[in-house]
Amino acid sequence: MTQQTDQCLNEWIDREAIAEAMIPLIGQLYRNNNVVTSIYGRGLINRSVISILKTHRFARHRIGEGAELTVRETYPILKAMSELALGSASVDIGKLAVKFKQEGQGRSIEEFVKAELAPVVDKQNENKHQGKDVVLYGFGRIGRLLARILIEKTGAGDGLRLRAIVVRKGAENDLEKRASLLRRDSVHGSFDGTIVIDEENNTITANGNLIQVIYSNDPASVDYTQYGIQDALLIDNTGIWRDEKGLSQHLQCPGIDRVVLTAPGKGELKNIVHGVNHAEISADDKIISAASCTTNAIVPVLKAINDKFGIENGHVETVHSFTNDQNLIDNFHKGSRRGRAATLNMVLTETGAATAAAKALPVLKGKLTGNAIRVPTPNVSMAILNLNLGKSTTREEMNEYLRQMAMHSELQKQIDYVCSQEVVSTDFVGSRHAGVVDAEATICNDNRLVLYVWYDNEYGYSCQVIRVAEDIAGVNPPAFPQ
């Protein structure tokens, strides 16, 4: 028994040592090459030893029954990558390790990795510090999460670069309060890094990113060029203006080139759900909408299901965390029922997600209805898709299909998959996917399907917004393995 105990501990210590050796390689690839590494969609940048080991353990849910992925298999992949002077890329080293086992064909790891990453080999520094300036107009729940993600993804500086935030001045110590809200978050935890404020120059420096804080009450009156900002992408997360006329005010400002709205757009604005219709973004589009959190959660799953089984019609019910537009206690509200205390009630309300889904996926036009129930939780929501399919299927077939879509399809960044009878809403705080299919809850009866999809309506949606922004700016790096 003692020998077995010692063996288990020694094995763990050995894996810890390898994970420790991986950390500097992950950091060097990120900061020197702008290479973002992951394992089956779970990011590795700025992760601890334990987090890296847990990520490897998680991979067994993706690889298949009884399969394991170890640091002994991924470390050599990282080592080989570090010697190739890579250009910007997103590399899933977990998938590369599994692919090497299946398709290595006698090659060394160095030969295999060089062949797999050939398009970006010896491309280091080709676009260094040629990133796209970004301005956040508004700094609320979504604005601050966008800031965190942008700062996290700064890398070598050749991607999206957060240059400024624009807000209305709320108090004499406004800058200190804004920085404090970025530093601490009751739902998403502490900011991962350092934040310094300069009250004289109205700046926040976060992990080396110098961010100008601009105070303005008028979206059309800011001259961004006086801050050295040129041809910037402005992300409006206030929700005040949602049509082309209102959002066009931003384009009147020197230094602003294009605008993204973090809410469903009205009129003829394109509503983009990344992974589904982002290819529709053209160079002529000066203003686009990134749709809503719920639309982003359901449309990728609906597209996957429609592609294989067809959707005749259905109903979408969202169980949604309360938001800032509701009252904490009973008080007047212009919206129906939303005046009642958000922290004490389930509040039945409307949602435009079912209608908005058809803007991103026109094949669904007229096929879906929708409603929403706001519940007393601060974050993470659920969409219940009650669908009539074009052909019959089984629970097992549907779940396996969606598992494969989460692993290997073009929707793998949008659709995640979980198979556990123990998960609850807080387990999905910080999920970077648009939606997570809960396989244990799937109900199938002939052509009737009820599917449950979790989504972090704050963070997961913010990740989708950033993906849209990267596409617009042309800084979305190639992903490997291809």
Give the mean pLDDT of 321-341.
92
Average pLDDT over residues 193-215: 96
In the set 8, 253, 293, 444, the catalytic residue is 293
What pLDDT, on a 0 to 100 scale, did the predictor assign at position 55? 92
In this prediction, residue 131 carries a pLDDT of 82
Q: How high is the pLDDT of residue 128?
A: 55
The 8-class DSSP code of residue 266 comes to: P
Q: What angle do CA 397, 402, 405 make, to 5 degrees?
A: 130
Spatial CA neighbour of 21 closest among 58, 57, 52, 54: 52
For range 419-445, the mean pLDDT: 95
Q: Measuring CA to CA, which residue among 34, 482, 474, 465 is closest to residue 275?
A: 465
370-427 per-position pLDDT tens digit: 999 999 999 999 999 999 999 999 999 999 999 999 988 999 999 999 999 999 999 9
Interatomic CA distance for residues 405 and 195, integer angstroms? 39
DSSP state of 253: S
What's the maximum distance between 2 C-alpha atoms anywhere in the chain?
75
Structure confidence at residue 66 (pLDDT): 63
- For residues 160-189, average pLDDT: 95
Q: Which pair of structure tokens corresponds to residue 83?
A: 């010697």
Percentage above 70 pLDDT, the chain: 98
- List helix spans (H) across 59-205: 60-63, 71-81, 93-103, 109-116, 141-152, 174-183
- Encode pLDDT of 227-255 as tens digits: 999 999 999 999 899 999 999 999 999 99
Count CB neighbours of 442 within 10 A: 18
Which residues, in sequence order, are CB contacts of 433 under 8 Å at separation 6+? 41, 413, 414, 415, 416, 455, 460, 463
Q: What is the mean pLDDT of residues 303-321?
A: 97
Confidence label for 259 from pLDDT (cuts 50, 70 and 90): very high
342 versus 354: the higher-pLDDT residue is: 342
pLDDT of residue 158: 76
Spatial neighbors of 319 by CB under 8 A, at least 6 apart, are 372, 373, 375, 381, 382, 383, 384
Distance CA 460, CA 452 (A): 16
Whether residue 156 is predicted with pLDDT greater than 90 in this model: the reply is no
Q: What percent of the chain has pLDDT over 90?
A: 80
The mean pLDDT value for 350-373 works out to: 91
Backbone angles phi, psi at 263, to 5 degrees: -165, 165
Q: What is the mean pLDDT of residues 101-116?
A: 92
Report the alpha-carbon distance of residue 185 to residue 42 in Å, rounded: 22
Pairing of strands 195-198, 203-206: antiparallel
Structural domains present in the chain: 1-120 (no CATH), 132-263 (3.40.50.720), 293-458 (3.30.360.10)
Predicted pLDDT at 168: 94
Q: CA–CA separation, 453 vs 446, rounded Å?
A: 20
293 has catalytic annotation: yes
Estimate to the nearest angstrom the gap between the alpha carbon of 438 and the chain centroid. Answer: 18
Q: Between 129 and 319, whose confidence is greater?
A: 319
The Cα–Cα gap between 3 and 10 comes to: 10
Q: Is a pLDDT exceeding 80 seen at residue 309?
A: yes
The pLDDT score that the predictor gives to residue 64 is 65
Residue 109: other Cβ atoms inside 10 A = 18
153 near 125, Cβ under 8 Å? no
pLDDT higher than threshold 90 for residue 63? no
pLDDT confidence of residue 127: 57
The region of weakest confidence among 121-130, 329-338, 353-362, 465-474 is: 121-130
pLDDT of 94 strictly over 60: yes
* Amino acid 7: pLDDT: 87
Q: How many CB atoms lie within 10 A of CB 474?
A: 9
Q: What is the pTM of this model?
A: 0.92
